[in-house]
Structure 1
Amino acid sequence: MTEPERPTGPGPEPVPGSEGSERSARPVLELDQSASASAYDPVDGKADDGGRIGRFWSVRRVPAALLALVVLGGAGLLLYDVAAVRADRPAMRWRRATAEYLAEWRLDEIAVLAAAGAVMLVGVWLVVLAVTPGLRSLLPMRRDRPHVRAGLHREAAALVLRDRAMEVSGVQTVRVRMRRSKASVRARAHFRDLDDVRADLDAALGVGLKELGLARPPALAVYVGRPPARKR
């Protein structure tokens, strides 16, 4: 069999190592240190069709590290004392003193109940940290591409809305408070009718919220008033 002839016409010549260069040219996602790796996993096509987009999950390194240190230290100390007793050596003084001290307390005393309640609250707090996403200041954005997930900080979103509000004629000062489900805007108008200023703010901020590209745009609440009168 003869090898088929290659086309002799003009065309781009293959560059040696082009496959490797294409792979190296692909963008690499840099993980944010405050978010877990699962926050950057690609999703299926359901999210692009308007499916539910979840919040970013925090890794919570500080609580996990503190709890691990406490459990490791307590378990290691107790294991060492138990091994010493098994080796026919006396138990540590702190364990004997603790056992004698606890033997004098009754379960229905206020101090015992208070300590049990405090331990229960700490346990509930750890469970809440484990089952909730965290990162409430990071608002998830729409996922137009399955391999890209973006978020917008509340401060940045509030700054964008504030700039939009200051462009409205008659507005003197603006304060924006951005939450996950509501954006509160308080403006002061030094001229023009308040109803006209409020209508312009509603229109401008409504467009601004859409341009932010948030997955769940918050509700908009606009309050307009006059600046306080100066004292003579």
Structure 2
Amino acid sequence: MSVPAADRGATKVADRAVRRIAERAATEALAPGEVRTDRSTASVRGRRARVDVAVTLPYPAPLDESGERVRSHVAGRTARLTGLTVPSARVRVRELNVRAAEFGEPEAAESTGGVRARRPWSARRVPVAVAAVVAAAACGVLLYDVLSVHAAGRAPARWRADFTEWLVTHGPHRGVWPGAAAAFAVFCLGVWLMVLAVTPGSRGRLPMRPPLSGVHAVVDRGTVAALLREAVSGLPGITRARVRVGRRRVTVRAGLAFGEIDAARAALTETAERTLASCGTARPPRLRVGLRTEPAWRAPARGGVDG
């Protein structure tokens, strides 16, 4: 007894799979590396799919022409690979990426008097405000007590007399540990304030190559990590990816569910290097890639399959 094909089951393509395909198709519409995707969505209703892709396009370029090429390629490519009907694809241009060739390489800009990329300096408003408020309050209270003694002839405040007596009897010269501990705490506070004054701070940001003289750009390390994680997660066989971005090193660790280990490691390294280079950092961090097989991974069969 044969069962009709329509009653044997159904194949459903998940929204996430359609979104990944649409994002990859958007990056293929123009030259390699010119289109980047961000915050894309896709929804599947029956045999129809709606796709919304946010992209970064190169500048300068005709936006209407580039956007139309991306839109048509996303719609056609997604429909061909998923088997679904894609009536239209919505493309939103969120950002423009300045082409380095339009302004020359960073080395050339520096040799002609351009500004060298440097780490941004943090204003450190919170530490400065706290230190200023505490110092102003302490000085104000002490000044009020001194003026009340010398101008109004009042007796010194009890807290100032007790504090002066405590300092005399518990000073460092007395060999008492509370005074030594207080002196050490004040010393550490002074060192900390000096370090804040001479270091740039903003450790969560990486300087980017300046496209023009007088232009300073930075990128958050969290943004770089998110771009790397999204790029390597779309590779075949990669099930999970952890990315850690430091000031001088980037570590990418991924898990492999199926496929050849050497080919997957090469694809992982190439994708990570390409994505890291597209971030445009002035001093690209060193890349370290780690790949481990998942518990369900099995070595691919060698040779053909007998029927």
Identify whether the pair has TM-score above 0.5, normalized to the shorter chain: yes
Structure 2 segments unaligned to the other structure (5+ residues): 1-108, 298-307
Alpha-carbon spacing, 1:64–1:48, altered in 2? closer, same or farther (3 Å): farther
Contact residue 48 and residue 143 of structure 1 kept, 8 A:
no
Matched, 1:116 2:180: no
> Is 1:150 equivalent to 2:217 in the alignment?
yes
Q: Does 1:171 align with 2:171?
A: no
1:103 aligns with 2:165: no
Kindly tell me: are residues 48 and 211 of structure 1, through their superposed partners in 2, closer, same or farther at Cα, counting changes over 3 Å?
farther
* 1:91 maps onto 2:156 in alignment: yes
Q: Distance in 2 between matches of 1:51 and 1:79?
A: 48
Structure 2 residue 118 is the aligned partner of structure 1 residue 68? no
CA offset digits 1:125-180 (Å, max 9, x no partner): 11111111111111111101123222111111111111221232221211111111
% identical equivalent positions: 41
Aligned CA distance change for structure 1 residues 61 and 106 (closer, same or farther; 3 Å): closer
* Structure 1 match to 2:301: none
Q: 2:271 and 2:263 mapped to 1: Cα distance?
A: 12
Contact 2:257 2:296 in 1 (8 A): no
User: Aligned to 1:91, what secondary structure does the other structure show?
Assistant: coil
Q: Do the aligned partners of 2:116 and 2:210 also contact (CA within 8 Å) in 1? A: no
Deviation (angstroms), 1:52: 3.9
What is the aligned residue count? 186
Residues 1:121 and 1:222: Cα distance change in structure 2 (over 3 Å): same
- 1:49 and 1:176 mapped to 2: Cα distance? 36
Give the superposition deviation at 1:59: 0.8
Instruction: Give 1:57 shift.
Output: 1.0
- Distance across 2 between alignment mates of 1:120 and 1:100: 22
Matched residues in 2 for 1:62 and 1:96: separation? 33
C-alpha deviation, 1:106, in angstroms? 4.3
Task: Give TM-score scaled by structure 2 length.
Answer: 0.57
Unmatched segments (≥5 aa) in structure 1: 1-44
Residues 142, 48 of structure 1: alpha-carbon distance in 2 compared, 3 angstrom cutoff:
farther
RMSD: 2.0
Quote the offset at 1:51 in angstroms: 6.5
